[in-house]
């Protein structure tokens, strides 16, 4: 059974997340204080971290920096009401593997947890010759990793997570930039990805949104 460290200071939300994770078959240890969560690593092994940023003791960013400095490569999902590009950049720079902006659907969190708990370098097959590893948030062409910026990586992760349907322009803007998002920023990001040879991977639906092909 996979074991999840859940760091969230909102008691009601923490209980909702923990209950849903346990229903999905995970063992969950809950923390509201980042320092206490960090101390638990000396006695317990976790398969996934789910981290809020603004918690007492040691915030989510500082917790993540500490565990990465200690050599822990455990996948980490940050959940936060702050979803602007600066927050995304900082999270990914510190070594997070995924970022969910509050409010989010519990089902989506479970999907992402399942993706990151896949063992090893298990990849999701996309349109040939592309594949995606959710554990390392890496996009491959054949077997070569494609260099992506934090914004590009966040968009690819979102599209892969929702690959069964087009993702609306509004949802992408909200998830990637928050209130700072504009259609022009999205068009520019898509253009840069297509310049990297991803024309056949990212399908656009005019006035609707985008989907991984």
Give the pLDDT of residue 88. 79
Give the pLDDT of residue 86. 76
Give the pLDDT of residue 27. 94
Which of these, 57, 17, 12, lies nearest to 37 by C-alpha position? Answer: 57
Q: Tokens for 120?
A: 């090893």
Q: How many CB atoms lie within 10 A of CB 62?
A: 16
Q: For the chain, which domains are there?
A: 3-116 (3.40.50.2300), 124-212 (1.10.10.10)
Q: Which residues pair with 99 in a beta bridge?
A: 78
Which of these, 102, 63, 65, 96, lies nearest to 82 by C-alpha position? Answer: 102
Give the pLDDT of residue 118. 64
| pLDDT tens track for 2-14 | 899 999 999 999 9
Q: Tokens for 41?
A: 């690593």
- What are the DSSP calls for the chain, one per residue? --EEEEE-S-HHHHHHHHHHHHHTT-EEEEES-HHHHHHGGGT---SEEEEESS-SSS-HHHHHHHHHHTT----EEEEES--SHHHHHHHHHHT-SEEEESS--HHHHHHHHHHHTS-TT--EE-STTEEEETTTTEEEETTEEPP--HHHHHHHHHHHHTTTSPEEHHHHHHHHTGGG--HHHHHHHHHHHHHTT-TTTEEEETTTEEEE-
User: Residue 157 and residue 172: Cα distance in Å, rounded?
Assistant: 11
Give the pLDDT of residue 181. 92
Give the pLDDT of residue 62. 94
* Residue stretches of the chain with pLDDT short of 50: none
Give the pLDDT of residue 65. 92
Sequence-distant (≥ 6) Cβ neighbours of residue 69 within 8 angstroms: none
Give the pLDDT of residue 78. 94
């Amino acid at each position: 059974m996979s074991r999840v460290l859940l760091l969230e200071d909102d008691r009601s939300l923490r209980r909702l997340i923990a209950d849903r994770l346990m229903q999905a078959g995970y063992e969950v240890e809950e923390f509201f204080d980042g320092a206490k969560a960090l101390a638990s690593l000396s006695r317990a092994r976790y398969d996934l971290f789910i981290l809020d940023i603004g918690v007492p003791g040691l915030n989510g960013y500082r917790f993540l920096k500490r565990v990465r400095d200690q050599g822990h490569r455990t996948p980490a999902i940050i959940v936060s009401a702050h979803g602007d590009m600066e927050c995304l950049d900082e999270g990914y720079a510190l070594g997070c593997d995924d970022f969910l902006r509050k409010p989010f659907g519990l089902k989506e969190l479970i999907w992402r947890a399942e993706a990151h708990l896949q063992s090893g370098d298990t990849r999701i097959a996309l349109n040939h010759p592309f594949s995606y590893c959710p554990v390392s948030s890496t996009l491959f062409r054949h077997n070569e990793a494609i260099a992506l910026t934090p914004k590009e990586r966040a968009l690819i992760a979102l599209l892969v997570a929702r690959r069964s349907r087009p993702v609306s322009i509004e949802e992408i803007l909200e998830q990637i930039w928050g209130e700072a998002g504009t259609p022009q920023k999205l068009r520019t990001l898509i253009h840069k990805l297509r310049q990297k040879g991803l024309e056949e991977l990212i399908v656009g639906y005019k006035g609707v949104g985008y989907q991984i092909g």
